[in-house]
Amino acid sequence: MKHRGATIALTLTSFLALPAVGVAAVSAEEAEKLGNELTCVGAERAGNEAGTIPEFTGKYLGEVPGWNLKPHSGEHPVDPYADEQPILTITAANVSEYKDKLSDGQLAMFEQYPDTWKMHVYPGHRDFRYPDFVCDRAKWNATNAKLEDDGMGVAGLGHNPFPIPKNAMEVLWNHQLPYRAWTEESKRDFASVGAGGEISWGRTHAVCLAPSNDPENKPHTSDGVSAYCRNESMQPVRSRGRTSVNHEPYNYESGSRIAWTYNPGTRRVRLAPGYGYDQALAGTNGNMTIDDERLFNGGPDRYNWELIGKQEMYIPANGYKVNSADVSYKELLTPNHVNPEFIRYELRRVWVIEATLKDSSRHLYGKRRLFLDEDTWHAVMADNYDTRGNLWKHSFVNYYYHPDMSAWQAGAGFYHDLSNGEYVGSNLINERRTAHIINKGDWKPSDFTPDRLRAQGR
- Does residue 138 form part of some domain? no
CB contact at 8 A, 395 and 384 = yes
Number of domains within the chain: 1
Nearest to 121 by CA among 380, 311, 317, 381: 317
Cα-based torsion angle of the residue sequence 277, 172, 184, 42 in order, rounded to the nearest 10 degrees:
-170
CB contact at 8 A, 206 and 189 = no
CATH number at residue 391: 2.50.20.10
Peptide bond before residue 236 is cis, with ω within 30 degrees of 0: yes
Three-class SS state of 6:
helix
Other beta carbons within 10 Å of 116: 15
Nearest to 189 by CA among 378, 77, 328, 393: 328
CA–CA distance, 220 with 250 (Å, rounded to integer): 9
**What is the helix (H) or strand (E) element at residue 141, kind and residue range?**
helix 132-144
CB contact at 8 A, 203 and 141 = no
CB contact at 8 A, 284 and 295 = no
Q: What is the pTM of this model?
A: 0.94
What pLDDT score was predicted for residue 157? 86
Count how many Cα atoms sit within 13 Å of the Cα of residue 42 in the half-sphere of its side chain: 30
Any residues with CB less than 8 A from the CB of 283 and at least 6 apart, and which? 190, 202, 203, 204, 233, 235, 236, 239
What pLDDT score was predicted for residue 17? 39
Q: Find the domain containing 205 and state its range.
A: 75-124+181-457
Q: Residue 332 — φ and ψ, nearest 5°? A: -80, -40
CB contact at 8 A, 189 and 428 = yes
Q: Residue 207 — φ and ψ, nearest 5°? A: -135, 130
CB contact at 8 A, 209 and 180 = no
- Does residue 264 form part of some domain? yes
What pLDDT score was predicted for residue 94? 98
Strand partners, 245: 230, 260
CB contact at 8 A, 182 and 210 = yes
What pLDDT score was predicted for residue 358? 98
Any residues with CB less than 8 A from the CB of 289 and at least 6 apart, and which? 277, 278, 279, 280, 281, 364, 365
- Does residue 8 form part of some domain? no
Count how many Cα atoms sit within 13 Å of the Cα of residue 82 in the half-sphere of its side chain: 14
CB contact at 8 A, 409 and 402 = yes
CB contact at 8 A, 338 and 120 = no
Residues in the chain: 458
The DSSP-derived string for 103-130 is -HHHHHHHHH-TTT--EEE------B--
What pLDDT score was predicted for residue 6? 37
β-pairing, 258-263 vs 88-90, is unpaired
Nearest to 424 by CA among 284, 235, 277, 282: 284
CA–CA distance, 117 with 151 (Å, rounded to integer): 38
What pLDDT score was predicted for residue 256? 83
What pLDDT score was predicted for residue 458? 66
Cα-based torsion angle of the residue sequence 355, 357, 361, 365 in order, rounded to the nearest 10 degrees:
90
**What is the helix (H) or strand (E) element at residue 136, kind and residue range?**
helix 132-144
What pLDDT score was predicted for residue 456? 80
CB contact at 8 A, 398 and 425 = no
**What is the helix (H) or strand (E) element at residue 28, kind and residue range?**
helix 28-31
SS (H, E, C) 307-366: EEEEEEEEEECCCCHHHCCCCCHHHHCCCCCCCHHHCCEEEEEEEEEEEEECCCCCCCCC
In one letter, which amino acid is 410?
A
CA–CA distance, 175 with 286 (Å, rounded to integer): 25
Other beta carbons within 10 Å of 308: 15
pLDDT one digit per residue (tens) for the chain, 458 residues: 434 333 333 333 333 334 344 445 799 999 999 999 999 999 999 999 999 999 999 999 999 999 999 999 999 999 999 999 999 999 999 999 999 999 999 999 999 999 999 999 999 999 999 999 999 999 999 999 999 999 999 999 889 999 999 999 999 999 999 999 999 999 999 999 999 999 999 999 999 999 989 988 776 655 789 999 999 999 999 999 999 999 999 999 988 899 999 999 999 999 998 899 999 998 888 899 999 999 999 999 999 999 999 999 999 999 999 999 999 999 999 999 999 999 999 999 999 999 999 999 999 999 999 999 999 999 999 999 999 999 999 999 999 999 999 999 999 999 999 999 999 999 999 999 999 999 997 899 999 999 999 888 76
In one letter, which amino acid is 406?
S
